[in-house]
């Protein structure tokens, strides 16, 4: 995406009754105008004196020698180009004389940052104008409560499909605020599957159907999505660990939520994409910080937002657009995933991935060693070669390589070369 390197940088501020499409005015990136943000803006102008275009990105295969390949599940690796850009702007953001950390969240500089972040995210996911985008706090865990508090009454039935630990946590939290039912659980099969949607026994009066589109711990990913049986019900997705890893048809969902710290930024920012007609009165006891209506009416500025985190997310969105958007990102993710899964599958059982092939995650790849006593050695040797955070989640053991958007192909190539070498020495 072309980010203006020369001042003045045209920015937009919200003002009622002045309808325009924000995205096209920020950048040269073209999006479908019918789907563009139709929030109302008033153009303002801010001079930006030190912008380094993000599109001058180094080849995806390169990696600075002073950095490790970080396979952590989150907080996770971020694009080097984004970190460098943030570094260059840390002390004095674009000639403002301030760091983003020091700015008023109501000042024109920060407003331009949050509005551009929203606009770029809308472009990336092609978010229809009838959806609001909220930048919140509290992690996806807070959304486990916010969703039922905002979308149903205490006696309302709702359905949960539980394909891993995160879906289970979401369900358990919902039991405090409504009447949820687990209509399918993969627990007895150690969370290695996604159900057949036709065989699901949905409650016909459920207010919503909740899924976790990518189970970060178990490495199970929905490749398509179920439709709620009740025609008035909505599909709700925790997309924390595959958010912006591929195109998604937002209109299939009532609410999408995601913690930023896997694919799109640092921890501390939670993104909620919600169909505007679902933003109604929450249950009366809902804390103000969990109330979508309050946040939507205040454009995510009801209280002090996680300003620096939102700025970082904005830089990541720019970078994803500069790479060609989510269609291109998905292609890269498929390539990385295939390389790693092929290495596992072609190891004659030396490495094993328990997840059913058709639903294997492109983001989190869990695997075990046939000789489990070698696992500690594997992790130790990998770390010596600058590949870190490969230990599986404490609840499942084994290994897990998280290969989010920002993990380069070079990182995965290095990992598979190491895996083959390790097998040759220990097989």
* Residues designated as active site: 166, 238, 262
Please give the DSSP secondary-structure letter assigned to residue 160: E
| Residue 388 contacts residue 72 (beta carbons within 8 Å) | yes
Q: Which residues pair with 13 in a beta bridge?
A: 42
Quick one: CA dihedral 229, 232, 233, 235, positive or negative? positive
Q: How far is the CB of 74 from ligand PLP (least distance, A)?
A: 5
* Sole binder of ligand PLP in the list 132, 140, 158, 321 (CB under 6 A): 140
Q: Is 254 in the site for ligand PLP (CB under 6 A)?
A: no
Q: Is 74 in the site for ligand PLP (CB under 6 A)?
A: yes
Q: Is 240 in the site for ligand PLP (CB under 6 A)?
A: yes
* Sole binder of ligand PLP in the list 39, 51, 96, 216 (CB under 6 A): 216
The distance of Cα 317 from the centroid of its chain, to the nearest Å, equals 11
Q: How far is the CB of 167 from ligand PLP (least distance, A)?
A: 8
The distance of Cα 311 from the centroid of its chain, to the nearest Å, equals 15
Pairing of strands 208-212, 351-352: unpaired
Q: Which residues pair with 134 in a beta bridge?
A: 272
| Residue 119 contacts residue 22 (beta carbons within 8 Å) | yes
x/- mask, ligand PLP, residues 164-203, rule CB under 6 A, reads --x-------------------------------------
Q: Is 160 in the site for ligand PLP (CB under 6 A)?
A: no
Q: Which stretch binds ligand PLP (CB under 6 A): 18-26, 27-35, 176-184, 233-241?
A: 233-241
Q: Residue 7's closest CA among 96, 108, 118, 86?
A: 96
x/- mask, ligand PLP, residues 81-100, rule CB under 6 A, reads --------------------
Pairing of strands 179-185, 131-136: unpaired
* Sole binder of ligand PLP in the list 111, 212, 307, 344 (CB under 6 A): 212
Q: Is 238 in the site for ligand PLP (CB under 6 A)?
A: yes
* Sole binder of ligand PLP in the list 21, 146, 192, 241 (CB under 6 A): 241
CA angle 19, 108, 40 (to 5 degrees): 10
Q: Which spans of this chain sit near ligand PLP (rule: CB under 6 A)?
A: 74, 139-141, 166, 212, 216, 238, 240-241, 259
């Amino acid at each position: 995406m072309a980010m203006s390197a020369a001042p003045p940088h045209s920015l937009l501020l919200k003002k009622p009754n002045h309808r325009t499409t924000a995205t096209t005015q920020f950048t040269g990136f073209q999006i479908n105008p019918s789907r563009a943000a139709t929030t109302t803006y008033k153009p303002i102008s801010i001079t930006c004196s030190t912008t380094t275009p993000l599109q001058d990105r180094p080849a995806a295969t390169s990696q600075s020698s002073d950095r490790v390949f970080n396979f952590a599940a989150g907080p996770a690796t971020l694009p080097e180009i984004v970190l460098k850009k943030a570094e260059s702007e840390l002390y004095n953001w674009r000639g403002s004389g301030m760091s983003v950390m020091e700015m008023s969240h109501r000042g024109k500089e920060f407003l331009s940052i949050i509005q551009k972040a929203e606009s770029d995210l809308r472009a990336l996911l092609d978010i229809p104008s009838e959806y609001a985008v909220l930048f919140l706090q509290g992690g996806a865990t807070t959304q486990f409560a916010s969703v039922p508090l905002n979308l149903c009454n205490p006696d309302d039935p709702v359905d949960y499909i539980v394909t891993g630990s995160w879906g289970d946590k979401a369900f358990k939290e919902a039991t405090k605020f409504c009447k949820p039912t687990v209509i399918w659980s993969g627990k007895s099969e150690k969370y290695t599957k996604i159900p057949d949607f036709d065989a699901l026994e949905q409650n016909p009066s459920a207010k919503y159907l909740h899924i976790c589109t990518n189970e970060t711990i178990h490495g199970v990913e929905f490749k398509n999505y179920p439709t709620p049986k009740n025609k008035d019900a909505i599909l709700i997705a925790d997309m924390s660990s595959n958010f912006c890893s591929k195109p998604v048809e937002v209109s299939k969902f009532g609410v999408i939520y995601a913690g930023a710290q896997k694919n799109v930024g640092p921890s501390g920012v939670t993104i909620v994409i919600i169909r505007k007609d679902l933003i109604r009165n929450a249950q009366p006891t809902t804390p103000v910080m969990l109330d979508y209506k309050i946040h939507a009416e205040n454009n995510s500025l009801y209280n002090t937002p996680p300003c620096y985190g939102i700025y970082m997310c904005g830089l990541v969105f720019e970078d994803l657009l500069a790479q060609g958007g989510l269609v291109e990102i998905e292609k890269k993710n498929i390539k990385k995933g295939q390389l790693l899964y092929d290495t596992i599958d072609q190891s004659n059982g030396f490495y094993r991935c328990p997840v059913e092939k058709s639903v294997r995650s492109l983001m989190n790849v869990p695997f075990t060693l046939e000789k489990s006593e070698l696992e500690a050695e594997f992790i130790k040797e990998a770390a010596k070669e600058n590949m870190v955070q490969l230990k599986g989640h404490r609840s499942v053991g084994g290994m897990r390589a998280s290969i989010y958007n920002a993990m380069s192909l070079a990182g995965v190539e290095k990992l598979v070369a190491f895996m083959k070498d390790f097998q040759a020495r220990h097989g």
